[in-house]
Chains A and B, each alone.
Chain A
Amino acid sequence: MSELLDSTRAALTLLVSLDPDLWEIIGVSFRVSLTAMVLAIPPALLIALALARLAFPGRWLLISLANTLMAVPTVVVGLMLFMLLSRSGPLGEWRLLFTQPAMVIGQWLLAIPLLIAMLHAALQGVDQRAWETARLHGAGRVAALWRLLGEARFGVMAAIVASFGRIIAEVGSAVMVGGNIEHFTRNITTAIALETLKGEYAQGIALGLVLLVLALILNLMLGVLRGRGQQTLSS
């Protein structure tokens, strides 16, 4: 019990004293996950809009696929990506394995299905009259789609927040294609998973606290957005 207390106290000291190693790890996590989000949002938005507005063959297949891929364990994504990026794999020439870009790709793959499914649900929730009204008032297709996004903005933001929460907390893909290399690809989750084995409890707890606070903030945001979103859709 006293060890737990001591470790926690040491963890808080690490955080408050801006321990460079600790904050470097936190920086890697945020850089990788934010990059993955920035790269995932545009294509996911396009696909979700297409799913919501276009009736093309295979539409329901795509929706089911997104919903299924949401449940794929992160280590499976990591393994597939590892085999692709390995020197003996088809993309081995890219020399991306055990780099941050590889982690970005892994998290991008994890974020895309969740984003598509949630964005599609958000757009689907917008009243059909919104599209009709915009079109009748002279909005072109692009302008009307843009308006739909505006109408669904709380759901869209909720999708982004939830996806970011998923990828910054994932460890399976990050450890497989990142490799937990100190100063390069060691992020919050791989550090917690592997460094605590060495008895670095204080660092583990400090990083855990960061994730916990982040999760709290993200969930509060989600709660607010869901509330606003329902208010929006019902009126």
Chain B
Amino acid sequence: MSLPATLRNAAIILGATLLTSPVLAADNDIIRLATTTSTYNSGLLDELLPQFEAEHPYQVQVIAVGTGKALRMGQDGDADLVMTHAPAAEKAFVDAGYGVEPQGVMYNDFVIVGPQKDSADIQGLEEATKAFKQIADSDALFISRGDDSGTHKKELALWQSSDIEPGFEGYRAAGQGMGKVLQMASELQGYTLTDRGTWLAMQNKLDLSLLMQGDPRLFNPYQVILVNPERYNDLNTDGARAWRSG
């Protein structure tokens, strides 16, 4: 997503949040959550926010930016907590003392979707590698993101652990985004690996079925990290902790 669009989204969230805030809300009723645009687009927060705000006396302001920027906001004390899915960068963030108490959240895991008739017969399998093997062996179509994205890297890692060279007869590298690739898989009746968020958002428009999920290899770990309260004294760490524990 381009930067202006990101800013616009952030502004919309902020605006909406402010409008619905009680007029006399005290400062420590507000939790500032910096997260990535992909997290925001995944719909995770839409699911969590209303429930949280109903159960707790806090308002959550979500700032959706790039991963680097989100962590930077935590470093600068512009957020009370950050929520990202970039393990290496998160580790550095914690090691540098900018954040404390990292905690994993399992969400937006990957799933394998494909045509209803499932010619590779992967439905009900428990191992993603087995599913990949069967897809490759059955000469079914597999649409790859092919764009060096996180999802593409995940897919390549899965092929590697399945001992299959991606490039078999039915392998198609699209070099495009998840939405386009899902559309392509639907049109060509092929399989693909997708994150659950995009799948949920698009499944109604696709002629595809969710065929395989739940293998730990398909998990996509998000981390919620509190911004180190020792660095700034005006953080709403209590609120952040409440959010983290749901």
Interface centre among B148, B172, B180 (most CB of A within 10 A): B172
A182 within 8 A of B: yes
Interface contact A181-B174, CB-CB below 8 Å: yes
A170 within 8 A of B: no
A59 within 8 A of B: no
The segment from A67-75, A191-199, A221-229 found at the interface with B is A191-199
Interface contact B184-A179, CB-CB below 8 Å: yes
Cross-interface CB contact of B173 among A97, A181, A190, A199, cutoff 8 Å: A181
**Which residues does chain A contribute within 8 Å of B176, judged by CB atoms?**
179-180, 194
Shortest Cβ distance from B25 into chain A, in angstroms? Answer: 42
Shortest Cβ distance from B180 into chain A, in angstroms? Answer: 8
Shortest Cβ distance from A202 into chain B, in angstroms? Answer: 15
Q: When chains A and B are docked, how far (Å) is the Cα of A89 from the Cα of B173?
A: 24
B59 within 8 A of A: no
**Contact A198 to B187, CB < 8 A, known contacts A87-B207, A182-B146:** no
Interface contact B148-A199, CB-CB below 8 Å: yes
Q: When chains A and B are docked, how far (Å) is the Cα of A190 from the Cα of B188?
A: 19
**Which residues does chain A contribute within 8 Å of B61, judged by CB atoms?**
none
**Which residues does chain A contribute within 8 Å of B172, judged by CB atoms?**
98, 181-182, 184
The size bracket of the interface on B is: 10 to 19
Nearest to A88 among chain B residues (CB) is B207
Interface contact B184-A98, CB-CB below 8 Å: yes
A186 within 8 A of B: yes
Interface contact A182-B175, CB-CB below 8 Å: yes
Interface contact A197-B147, CB-CB below 8 Å: yes
B186 within 8 A of A: yes
Cross-interface CB contact of B175 among A87, A98, A180, A199, cutoff 8 Å: A180
**Which residues does chain A contribute within 8 Å of B189, judged by CB atoms?**
87
Shortest Cβ distance from B109 into chain A, in angstroms? Answer: 24
Cross-interface CB contact of A86 among B174, B180, B187, cutoff 8 Å: B187
Nearest to A195 among chain B residues (CB) is B175
**Which residues does chain B contribute within 8 Å of A194, judged by CB atoms?**
147, 175-176
Interface contact A198-B147, CB-CB below 8 Å: yes
Q: When chains A and B are docked, how far (Å) is the Cα of A225 from the Cα of B55?
A: 77
Q: Name B184-222 residues within 8 Å CB distance of A.
A: 184, 186-189, 207
Q: Name A53-100 residues within 8 Å CB distance of B.
A: 86-88, 97-98
Shortest Cβ distance from A110 into chain B, in angstroms? Answer: 21
Interface residues as binary, B154-195 with A (CB distance below 8 Å gives 1, 0 otherwise): 000000000000000000111110001000101111000000
Interface contact B147-A97, CB-CB below 8 Å: no
**Which residues does chain B contribute within 8 Å of A183, judged by CB atoms?**
173
Interface contact B175-A97, CB-CB below 8 Å: no
Interface centre among B146, B174, B184 (most CB of A within 10 A): B174
Q: When chains A and B are docked, how far (Å) is the Cα of A156 from the Cα of B174?
A: 38
**Which residues does chain A contribute within 8 Å of B188, judged by CB atoms?**
97-98
Nearest to A96 among chain B residues (CB) is B187
**Which residues does chain A contribute within 8 Å of B173, judged by CB atoms?**
181-183
**Which residues does chain B contribute within 8 Å of A87, judged by CB atoms?**
186-187, 189, 207
**Contact A179 to B174, CB < 8 A, known contacts A98-B184, A98-B187, A98-B188:** yes
Q: When chains A and B are docked, how far (Å) is the Cα of A194 from the Cα of B148?
A: 11
Q: When chains A and B are docked, how far (Å) is the Cα of A201 from the Cα of B148?
A: 14
Q: When chains A and B are docked, how far (Å) is the Cα of A198 from the Cα of B148?
A: 6
Nearest to B181 among chain A residues (CB) is A179
Nearest to A86 among chain B residues (CB) is B187
Shortest Cβ distance from B210 into chain A, in angstroms? Answer: 19
Additional A-B contacts beyond A179-B176, A180-B176 (14; CB < 8 A): A87-B186, A87-B187, A87-B207, A98-B187, A98-B188, A179-B174, A179-B180, A181-B172, A182-B174, A182-B175, A183-B173, A190-B175, A194-B176, A195-B175
Q: Which 6 A-B pairs have the closest CB atoms?
A: A182-B173, A198-B148, A194-B175, A181-B172, A97-B187, A180-B175
Q: List 24 A-B contacts (CB under 8 A).
A: A86-B187, A87-B187, A87-B189, A87-B207, A98-B172, A98-B184, A98-B187, A98-B188, A179-B180, A179-B184, A181-B175, A181-B184, A182-B146, A182-B172, A182-B173, A182-B174, A182-B175, A184-B172, A186-B175, A191-B175, A194-B147, A197-B175, A198-B148, A198-B175
